[in-house]
Amino acid sequence: MTRVPPVLRVALAFALGAALAPGSLTGPRGLLTPALLLLLLASTWAWRVPPLLPSLVHLAPAALAGALWAASADAASRPACLAEQVDGAALELTGHFTRVRAQGSSRFHVAGGLGPGCFPVLTVYVRGETGAVEARFGTLEGRWLTGRRDQGIGGYFSAGTFLETLGPVPRRHRVRAAFGRGVETVLERRFGERASVARALTIAGGEGVDPHLREAFVRSGVAHLLSISGFHVGVVGGLLAGMAAGLGLPPRARAGVLAGGVWLYVALIGAPTSAARAAWMTSALVLGTIRGRPVLRLGALGCAMLVLAVVEPGAVGGPGYQLTVAGTAGILFVGRWIARHWPEGPVVGALGPSVGAGLGAALFTAPILALHFGALSTVSVPASLLLTPLVAVAIPGIVATIALDLTGLPGASVVAYGTDALLMGLSATARAFAALPWASVPVTAQEVAVALIFALASLRLLRSPWRVAAWIRIWLAVSGGAAGVMGLRVVRDLAAWNSMEVTAIDVGQGDAIAIRTPRNRWYLIDGGPRSATFDVGASRVVPYLQRRGVRRLEAIVLSHPDSDHVGGLAAILQAFPVGAVLGPGRTAGQVAHVDALEQARRTNTPWRRVVTGDAWSRDGVSFEILHPGTEDLGDHPNDWSVVILSRFGAFEALFMGDAEEAAESRVLATLESGEVEVLKVGHHGSRTSTSQALLDRVSPRVALISAGRRNRYGHPAPQVLRRLRESGATILRTDASGTVSVTGRRNGSLRTGGRVPRYPGR
């Protein structure tokens, strides 16, 4: 039986304390990260029970130390001078980039411009062609933007221009930047369109990987292969160990070469969390070799966990730290046990270690993948068995290509050609697994927590669980977890009984309105925006629906085909079965609309036109189309907006899409007078919508406004806000409060939900 060394429990306790530290519990998952760590800590007793009370007494100081250390580190990482910066203020900063990305956030080390003694490393979003280059000193112009508390963001810098000048830059940044530029050039020249995959496998530059390919790896349960992990570091370490052995070095010298080479590689790629974990474990094992004393692998894992939590306590709550720890633990706990009990044979026996490692890592990382990605892969083990060998061969090929190209030695083209074929096979296999209809099962973070609690409780039903066969313990844990999830779903369905919920999902400048019926069925109005670098459907709408336990959408209503409403639709159609897409039946040729149509065709989702008078009902909730009619509505998409009136007993909700005053006048011709409980304000609160005539007719109790913070259109308009306040409506805005919701009952009563606004309405 695998023994759990004390250092592993101490590391778990320290990480638990770091996750519970003030300032750590940010983001939508709140307490789920420390809860998961607590369950992992408890599992070390559930599997093989040591004396509980003495262990808790010894581990409490470690948890307290973790909390104090993380709190002090959090305060040190957010200088007080940043809190003094005015939201939206124009600034001119001097310093240098420590990381530059064409897409997403870059990092800028400030040397001046924020006041005396204020030299933080800022998150920077670079707009347009800035000419910014890593390890170059210069002046950066832009605006300081205060972040939203609900997203755990203290603030960031929106940069416009970088003016390069000469100045001192730390040597480590210059070396790493030069290495990165050289490797990037080789990869682009040798691998073409698969350069992004080669980059992800070798130098931790996975941001440029095609989003659809990345999603395929996620659905296949092998997303870890596209980010530098202990596996990748192990492959590099194997190459170094082979080279050292080939040179005839003695064991201790080989161990030193292995540790030094691994750390050099990890430092050059920026020391991502999982790679750093592997490097620390390698160092611990090498130290044991040098001292002539064996080191427990679980003890080495505990040491690596503890060091990482001390060096970067903020990483404890992120998927990188959790996945690398859980995956390694799964291999050491379950993988090695499976390998020992695997049938013998020349062919079957050789598969034992791979199957054990794949299954062990899959079992231990499944809760964390569900927590962060909202889905469990059912094909992760077979996908790992096929893809892991391809990656194991491709990495040496990429490294050899880089080395041969940079040194000018012959053979780079031949090696690159063979490696490119491997990368092509890797991508095609991942897409094939992801295309299976049952490849991924959506789950919620709450279901994961309940499953773990019930699994541990099931193990504790045994008087002495460590004396029972391991397969019986696994069967009990799985059965208990499944029973807990089923019970949770029953409770959730009962809680939704006799109520209807309307939620405006925070998608920035766009619309995505989710509607839940009393029988826990879901509808969606619009899918949010999409840009060249950010798909709100994939990054916000789908995760929100998955957290709410959505398995299927009865229908998606596309109010009109503008990109801020249809942009995320393709990703949503890919993520969920959808009964039908309903819309105005017209298009202006937007790319996002065409993509959504193509995705609907691939998933065999009906796409139907709706007009005034169409109606349907489900679970006591009725939906009636008030607009558009069959008449000629012109060429402006806003004039085509689908307007829906939904009723649940005395509770009524009116959804205006982007309808402006012309469309409102047509709606008023058929809309009866009477109070509606919820008005989804048209066109994000534009001054061309929400006329006084409409408010006089419907007298809304709650007005939902979906708009982006600091949007360039000035939505919502001050005059619209004034009219809404004068009508007596409670105003809920996504730009001020994030995702907001209204829950109504059949008798017309309601309650609102949402976060406290960061700033008052204009």
Distance CA 668, CA 545 (A): 33
Mean pLDDT in residue range 349-357: 68
Identify the burial level of 643 via C-beta atoms within 10 angstroms of its C-beta, where 0-12 means exposed, 13-18 middle and 19 or more buried. buried
Q: Compute φ and ψ for 199, nearest 5 degrees.
A: -65, -45
The pairing of strands 90-99 and 137-146 is antiparallel
CB 665 within 8 A of CB 638: no
Grouping H, G, I as helix, E, B as strand and the rest as coil, residue 24 is: coil
Mean pLDDT: which of 16-25, 121-130, 447-456 is highest?
447-456
Strand partners, 96: 109, 137
CB 526 within 8 A of CB 557: yes
Residue of 403, 229, 298, 293 whose CA lies nearest to 48 = 298
Q: Which amino acid is at 315?
A: A
In CATH, which of 1.10.150.20, 3.60.15.10, 3.40.50.300, 1.10.3720.10 is domain 496-753? Answer: 3.60.15.10
Q: Compute φ and ψ for 77, nearest 5 degrees.
A: -80, -10
Of the pLDDT bands very low, low, confident and very high (cuts 50, 70, 90), residue 114 is confident
Q: Between 542 and 211, whose confidence is greater?
A: 542
Reply yes or no on whether the pLDDT at 93 is more than 60: yes
Helix-helix angle 348-373:380-407, to 10 degrees: 90
Structure tokens belonging to residue 571: 């990703």
Mean pLDDT in residue range 369-374: 72
Give the DSSP per-residue string, 443-470.
Answer: --HHHHHHHHHHHHHHHHTSSSGGGS-H
Structure tokens belonging to residue 684: 């994000």
Q: Please write the tens of the pLDDT for every residue from 663-712.
A: 999 999 888 878 899 999 999 999 999 999 999 999 999 999 999 888 88
pLDDT score at 616: 95
Reply yes or no on whether the pLDDT at 181 is more than 80: no
User: What's the CATH architecture for 80-169?
Assistant: Beta Barrel (2.40)
Q: Please write the tens of the pLDDT for every residue from 547-605.
A: 788 889 999 999 999 999 999 999 999 889 999 999 998 877 788 899 999 999 999 99
Q: Between 148 and 427, whose confidence is greater?
A: 427
Mean pLDDT: which of 119-133, 227-241, 648-662 is highest?
648-662
Q: Which amino acid is at 728?
A: G
Mean pLDDT lowest among 314-323, 339-348, 597-606: 339-348
Reply yes or no on whether the pLDDT at 49 is more than 50: no
Helix-helix angle 412-434:380-407, to 10 degrees: 160
CB 379 within 8 A of CB 433: yes
Mean pLDDT lowest among 45-49, 225-229, 447-451: 45-49
CB 515 within 8 A of CB 523: yes
Q: What is the largest CA-CA distance in the chain?
A: 91
Residue of 74, 108, 80, 76 whose CA lies nearest to 93 = 108
Instruction: Enumerate the CATH 2.40.50.140 domain ranges in the chain, comma separated.
Output: 80-169
Q: How far is CA 749 from the centre of its chain?
A: 36
CB 477 within 8 A of CB 458: yes
Q: How many C-beta atoms surround the C-beta of residue 160 within 10 A?
A: 13
Mean pLDDT lowest among 68-72, 192-196, 347-351: 347-351
pLDDT score at 27: 43
pLDDT score at 16: 76
Mean pLDDT in residue range 736-754: 88
Mean pLDDT in residue range 511-524: 95
pLDDT score at 4: 66
What 638-643 contacts at long range (C-beta under 8 Å, 24+ apart), as own/partner pairs, is 638/560, 638/562, 638/663, 638/683, 639/663, 640/560, 640/561, 640/584, 640/586, 641/559, 641/560, 641/584, 641/682, 642/557, 642/558, 642/559, 642/560, 642/582, 642/583, 642/584, 642/610, 643/559, 643/667
Structure tokens belonging to residue 419: 């490696």
Q: How far is CA 328 from the centre of its chain?
A: 21
Mean pLDDT in residue range 321-345: 75
Distance CA 407, CA 387 (A): 30
Distance CA 633, CA 588 (A): 13
- In the chain, pLDDT over 90 holds for what percent of residues? 25
Reply yes or no on whether the pLDDT at 363 is more than 90: no
Q: Please write the tens of the pLDDT for every residue from 628-676.
A: 988 877 778 888 999 999 999 999 999 999 999 889 999 998 888 788 9
Distance CA 172, CA 137 (A): 14
Alpha-carbon separation of residue 381 from 385, 551, 705 (angstroms): 6, 23, 45
pLDDT score at 723: 94
Give the DSSP per-residue string, 352-406.
Answer: HHHHHHHHHHHHHHHHHHHHHHSEEESSHHHHHHHHHHHHHHHHHHHHHHHHHHH
Computed over every residue of the chain, the mean pLDDT equals 79
Of the pLDDT bands very low, low, confident and very high (cuts 50, 70, 90), residue 172 is low
Instruction: Enumerate the CATH 3.60.15.10 domain ranges in the chain, comma separated.
Output: 496-753
Mean pLDDT in residue range 84-95: 78
Of the pLDDT bands very low, low, confident and very high (cuts 50, 70, 90), residue 267 is confident
Give the DSSP per-residue string, 550-612.
Answer: ---EEEEE-----HHHHTTHHHHHHHS-BS-EEE-S-----HHHHHHHHHHHHTT--EEE--T
Of the pLDDT bands very low, low, confident and very high (cuts 50, 70, 90), residue 164 is low
Mean pLDDT in residue range 349-364: 70
- In the chain, pLDDT over 70 holds for what percent of residues? 79
pLDDT score at 120: 78
Reply yes or no on whether the pLDDT at 467 is more than 70: no
Mean pLDDT in residue range 199-209: 70
Mean pLDDT in residue range 61-89: 69
Mean pLDDT lowest among 102-106, 126-130, 216-220, 616-620: 126-130
Q: What is the pTM of this model?
A: 0.71
Grouping H, G, I as helix, E, B as strand and the rest as coil, residue 647 is: strand
Mean pLDDT: which of 14-28, 167-181, 484-498 is highest?
484-498
Grouping H, G, I as helix, E, B as strand and the rest as coil, residue 64 is: helix
Reply yes or no on whether the pLDDT at 277 is more than 50: yes
